Structure 1
Amino acid sequence: MQQKTFKREFAACLAVFLCFVAWKASNAEPVETLKVIIWPIMLFVGAAFGMQWASKQTDLTTGRK
């Protein structure tokens, strides 16, 4: 049995953090902060939730045909 990596839980926490920063930024107007942190966080969230199909349903990660 493989160890749990908690990547989905961490991605959910990052998404909540991003929502909190966006909420605070709407009051103070530092949109530049959002421009810097939104791409890395959303890429990680997308990879943690959406890209797992590549290892579960295909042979892309093993190199077999």
Structure 2
Amino acid sequence: MDILKIILIAYGILCILIGLFKLPLVWQMKKLQVMKKMLKGDRNLQIFIIVWGSIIGAIGILIK
């Protein structure tokens, strides 16, 4: 369970960093371009990624 906890926290932090700083290497991936169309904008995708990272990080912290 400790490994899962560490992975979830690291993934959450990574998502938050990608959402905040819009890292070009990741932000220009085709998968994110499709999600940008689905969420109708760059800003909405950024908010989605930050919220997703926050939720995953919180789950990682709460796991015992």
Q: Which has the higher helix share?
A: 2
Which of the pair has more CA radius of gyration? Answer: 1
The structure whose RCO (Cα within 8 Å, separation 6+) is larger is 2
TM-score band, normalised by shorter chain: 0.3 to 0.5
When the two structures are superposed, what TM-score results if normalisation uses the length of structure 1? 0.45
